[in-house]
Structure 1
Amino acid sequence: MQKTDNLTAYINEHANPYTQTADLEPLIKEASKARYVMLGEASHGTSEFYTIRAEITKQLIEEHGYSFVAVEGDWPPCFEVNRYVKGMAPEYSTARDVLRSFNRWPQWMWANEEIIPLIEWMKEFNKKQPARNQAGFYGLDVYSLWESMEAIIEYLEKIKSPDVEKAKNAFECFEPFNKKPEKYGVSAAYYGEDCMEEMLEMLRTLRQNKSTYDDDPEASLNMQANAVAASNAEAYYHAMVSHDAESWNIRDKHMMEALRIISEHYGTGTKGIVWEHNTHIGDARATDMANEGMVNVGQLAREMYGEEDVYAVGFGTHRGTVIAGAKWGAIPEKLVVPKGVAGSWEDLLHKSGSFNKFIMFNEENRKLFRDIIGHRAIGVVYHPEMEHLGNYVPSRISERYDAFIHVDETKALTPLIS
């Protein structure tokens, strides 16, 4: 038998079909043993990836005591969602209102119809909980330099903190770049004109005086996370112009730092759910990323917390449609996702039966899925006609994930347009 024939046979033996969330109960039960459940996605524009993760998330929060959802999104707008679900944002009447806070491209990642039911569910769930048990919603990403700085200054001014001058001094350093990170990146990388010293000084000051901001725990968390986001964003934009691998590592290490800060806010024994692309939650050591010196959240979390406390679930599809842009900043389009390339993980999952299925990897079967195989990854910029040239990541699937959910045919999510 050829290697692909073996894999198809192994999939037939170990995969379970599913048509509804109840069918995923064995996976959810196993995942709930971990401190962190990481739910992936093969694209940022697929409806089913959002709706399935939402149903799993509800069960983990309601039945297994998970405290927060941390997503691949910027801290400031995600914190607005957090305020909404915790009943602290009377200025928003509905989830649709608060999702308008997402105004950085690609907005559709969070400003979409599919996420609305989860946000409204979290708000209703929290109404029945004491404040200490309310589930939170937070962003892990690193892009929000200007927005985070503005939030820090606004808060420090509100409480009349003497630290506001250092924050303003740091922010003034960035003003010549007109909120254009690419301009700052070029200036920092090639001309040595950066704001690193100002950012580090601000961060040191805020950390030294952290105890003075503890009267309002959520506000204190917000300022601390914004300070770290702003500092790491400076480093990210500094590196992204000339060091792709370095900027990637800065970003994923930042996301781990943000996850740690959120966890410490909730206290010892906290359990959290992470929503990010497969390329972030699937262990980088099981892909060719490792050859380029790249790390990711999945790897770092396993190293920091132990493999038994991290449960990573990959998601994929054989074919369908997706929302993406032809280039960065372009108007999003509904694009056709072609059938999985012959011999790829997606192709073999389809050949084993054209229905939705999931596989849980364990000590008995993990060795069967360790062969390197191409595994599709779709970004916010996508060219379907070219995907065979660069959208398949060589992966050892059972080492990259603890489980995998396959949706045979998917449809594009629905961005909010009003």
Structure 2
Amino acid sequence: MINNIFPCAAQTNRDSIYTIDANLKELITDISSKKIIALGESTHGTKEFTLVRADIVKSLVTQFGFNTFILEADYMPCMAINEFILTGKGDPETLLLNVRLWPWIHQDFLELIIWMKDYNQLHPSEKVQFFGMDSQYSKIYATKEIMFQKYPEKAQAIFDIVEGQEKRNKKIKMLRALSEQTTSISFAIDLEWQYFILCQINKLAQLPPKDYNARDENMARMVELIQLKQGVDTKMMIWSHNEHINKKGSSLQDRTGMGHYLSVNHPDDFVSIAMDFKEGSFMAINFEDKSVHKPESFHLKPFETTFASGLNFKNKDINIIDCKDIDKEVLNAIGAIYVHAPKKGDNYYTKIKGNKSFDYLIIIEKSTPIRILLTYGFK
């Protein structure tokens, strides 16, 4: 059992049944030579996706020397989580709340963070680090005041561009050039400075007409900056939605996902593993009441025939598929928002062909909702 090789100070009572799956162990071994492993999910609110990916992460860390975990969340609040898993400082529930993203504020992800902290205590020379790759919360973590407090001599270079007279796309290009100026030497890379630049790019990209590619390009950039900072031999695990790790250009509802940039720039080192499910329930924000931003449980109501719906789960808990072995298929693609009565035309699916989008699929039979922490603000 994979679970037997996960040494940590305090074992949690987990109900994962996937640790005994021989095919999962074989997949982990097959991908272990890669340096950037992206682990996806077809919904943000499926408990089983967390359990399976947590087992993959633990195996990659304990058996194959992976030492960098990267989450689809903003860089700044994740630095506090990194300090927790490195030193034990801080309350992990509070730190997750500060991430401000309900898909990660739940019991099973909390247990994974605690496992990382326990692992680091037992392996001080082989510590895992925790990073965020996103840049969406500039209003909280990258205001003009904060940036000048942190970089009183350098911040003006950013705002000379942002507040200049050039057109939006020109400003974004200039900010990306500014980012490139300080990345030639690994020890000189300041990830916080880079985060501030990416936040301003993301903020500009929201101006009409929106640039829907900027966020994923930013995430790919941050992953590469983390790799440069940590050293080219660092071995990284990315935790994100399927559509962000999609290798195919123009995959995110005519957007280009982070996975495309990484697969092009790191063709020998990057592997993309999507996850999907056959049936069941999951957490999401109700589109009809999205201003409340309160996740609730939804039951899958398909109006397309997905690849998962035709799989046989007799005598197995999961199906693992090498995408080279499949042709044109359809996967669920449910983000943070869903509706109780989806209809034809709603964008809750993604089409794939062979391994153009993903290298592997992990399909579970039944999804159940994640257990949102009560401290998130509701029961």
TM range (shorter): 0.7 to 0.9
Contact kept in structure 1, 2:85 and 2:117, CA below 8 Å: yes
| Aligned: 1:236 with 2:205 | yes
More helix by share: 1
Deviations 1:177-203 (A, max 9, x none): xxxxxxxxxxx9xxx997986995798
Deviation of 1:209 after TM superposition, in Å, equals: 7.4
TM-score (norm 1): 0.74
| 1:344 corresponds to | 306
Cα deviation, 1:196-222, whole Å, max 9, x if unaligned, reads 869957984x876789996xx8xx644
Cα shift readout 1:112-168 (whole Å, capped 9, x = no counterpart): 11211111111122223446x421111112312223424x8658646x853356668
Q: Which residue is 1:100 aligned to?
A: 97
Give the letter aligned to residue 22 of structure 1. Answer: I
C-alpha displacement at 1:338, in angstroms?
2.5
What CA distance in whole angstroms lies between the structure 2 residues aligned with 1:37 and 1:299? 13
Match of 1:280 among 216, 239, 244: 244
Q: Equivalent residues in 2 for 1:355-366 (5 A)?
A: 356-361=317-322, 366=324
C-alpha root-mean-square deviation of aligned residues, in Å? 3.5
C-alpha displacement of 1:315: 0.6
Matches of 1:407 and 1:382, distance apart in 2: 20
Distance 2:46 2:127 in 1: 28
Aligned AA (1:53):
R
Identical counterparts, % of pairs:
19
Q: Quick check: 1:85 aligned with 2:73? A: no
Look up the SS of the partner of 1:140 in the other structure: strand
Q: Secondary structure at the match of 1:73?
A: strand
Q: 1:373 is matched with which residue?
A: 329
Distance 1:146 1:156 in 2: 14
Cα distance 1:387–1:27, how it changes in 2: closer, same or farther (>3 A)? Answer: farther
Alignment of 1:152-231 (within 5 A): 154=146, 157=149, 161-163=152-154, 204=178, 221-231=190-200
Structure 1 pair 387–197 and aligned structure 2 pair: CA distance change class (3 A): same
Aligned partner of 1:316 in structure 2 is 276
CA contact (8 A) 1:77 1:101 kept: yes
- CA distance, structure 1, for counterparts of residue 281 and residue 299 of structure 2: 5
Structure 1 position 352, deviation (Å): 5.8
Partner letter of residue 212 of structure 2? W
**1:146 aligns to 2:134 (yes or no):** no
Once the two structures are superposed, residues 256-301 of structure 1 have per-residue CA deviations (whole angstroms, 9 ceiling, x without a partner) of: 100001001110211100111111112225xx738x7532122221
Unaligned segments of structure 1, at least 5 residues: 1-17, 174-187
Residues 170 and 199, structure 1, Cα contact 8 Å, conserved in 2: no
Q: 1:268 aligns with which of 219, 225, 232?
A: 232
How far apart, CA to CA, are the structure 2 residues paired with 1:396 and 1:272?
A: 26
Q: Where in structure 2 are the equivalents of 1:48-87 lying within 5 Å?
A: 48-87=48-87
Alpha carbons of structure 1 residues 357 and 227: separation in structure 2 relative to 1, 3 Å = same
**TM-score, length-normalised on structure 2?**
0.81
- Structure 1 residues 413 and 274 mapped into 2: Cα distance closer, same or farther (>3 Å)? same
Query: CA 1:337 to 1:200, structure 2 compared with 1: closer, same or farther past 3 Å?
Result: same
CA distance in 1, matches of 2:26, 2:181: 46
Return the index of the structure with the highest Cα Rg: 1
For the Cα contact (< 8 Å) 2:172–2:204, is it kept in 1? Answer: no
The separation in 2 between residues aligned to 1:379 and 1:202, in whole angstroms, is 28
- Taking the aligned partners of 2:245 and 2:172, their CA distance within structure 1 comes to 32
CA distance in 2, matches of 1:210, 1:369: 40
1:411 match: 368
Indicate how the Cα distance of structure 1 residues 68 and 242 shifts in structure 2: closer, same or farther if over 3 A, else same: same
- State the Cα deviation string for residues 274-333 of structure 1 (Å, max 9, x = none): 111111112225xx738x753212222111111x32221111111211111123443324
Q: What SS class does the counterpart of residue 359 from structure 1 fall into? A: strand
- Do the aligned partners of residues 51 and 394 (structure 1) sit closer, same or farther apart at CA in structure 2, a change above 3 Å counting? same
Given that residues 301 and 342 in structure 2 are in contact (C-alpha distance below 8 angstroms), is that contact kept between their aligned partners in structure 1? no
Relative to structure 1, is the Cα distance of residues 382 and 279 closer, same or farther in structure 2, using a 3 angstrom cutoff? same
1:315 touches 1:406 (CA, 8 Å); kept in 2? yes
